[in-house]
């Protein structure tokens, strides 16, 4: 599991009260900085999303973390299946963990390795 990006919000961000807010949660990773634009919606197609934990009715959060779980190449089209995990927390308490599977034109592993090398 590789941390790709994280964002701490200056105050608790509330989704409660917004229409269909649960459907907005898997899209929050699009707001994270540090992810190349080519890896966002334009070059990826969402295959599946799953909210796997939601223990609280408090829908106020202060941190997002996006992890790359795995990536593998498809056999025929030479595209990539990307598995991500988005963690949504409030005061370090995990509120939701959302698994996303994407079909991507680009290899996320290669881009993340290049980004890491530039930081060193």
pLDDT (tens digit, 9 = 90+) per residue, 34-45?
787 778 776 788
Give the number of C-alpha atoms closer than 13 A to the C-alpha of residue 113, restricted to the C-beta side. 5
More confident residue, 55 or 9: 9
pLDDT (tens digit, 9 = 90+) per residue, 65-118?
999 999 999 988 889 999 999 998 888 888 888 999 999 988 888 887 776 544
19/113 Cα distance (integer angstroms): 38
120/54 Cα distance (integer angstroms): 37
Dihedral pair phi/psi, residue 112, rounded to 5°: -70, -40
- The pLDDT score that the predictor gives to residue 119 is 42
pLDDT (tens digit, 9 = 90+) per residue, 12-51?
666 655 666 667 777 888 888 878 777 877 678 888 988 8
Contacts of 100 (CB under 8 A, 6+ apart): 26, 29, 46, 48, 49, 83, 84, 85, 86
CB 94 within 8 A of CB 85: no
- The pLDDT score that the predictor gives to residue 120 is 38
- The pLDDT score that the predictor gives to residue 59 is 67
| DSSP state string for 9-35 | EEEEEE-TTSTTHHHHGGGGGGG-TTS
More confident residue, 50 or 52: 50
């Amino acid at each position: 599991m590789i941390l790709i990006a994280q964002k701490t919000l200056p105050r608790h961000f509330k989704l409660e009260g917004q229409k269909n807010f649960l459907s907005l949660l898997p899209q929050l990773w699009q707001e994270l900085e540090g992810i190349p634009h080519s890896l966002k919606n334009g070059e990826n197609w969402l295959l599946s999303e799953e909210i796997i934990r939601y223990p609280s009715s408090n829908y106020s959060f202060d941190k997002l973390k996006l992890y790359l779980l795995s990536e593998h190449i498809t056999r025929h089209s030479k595209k990539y299946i990307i598995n991500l995990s988005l963690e949504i927390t409030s005061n370090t308490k995990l509120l939701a963990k959302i698994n996303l599977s994407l079909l991507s034109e680009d290899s996320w592993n290669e881009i993340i390795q290049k980004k890491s090398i530039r930081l060193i």
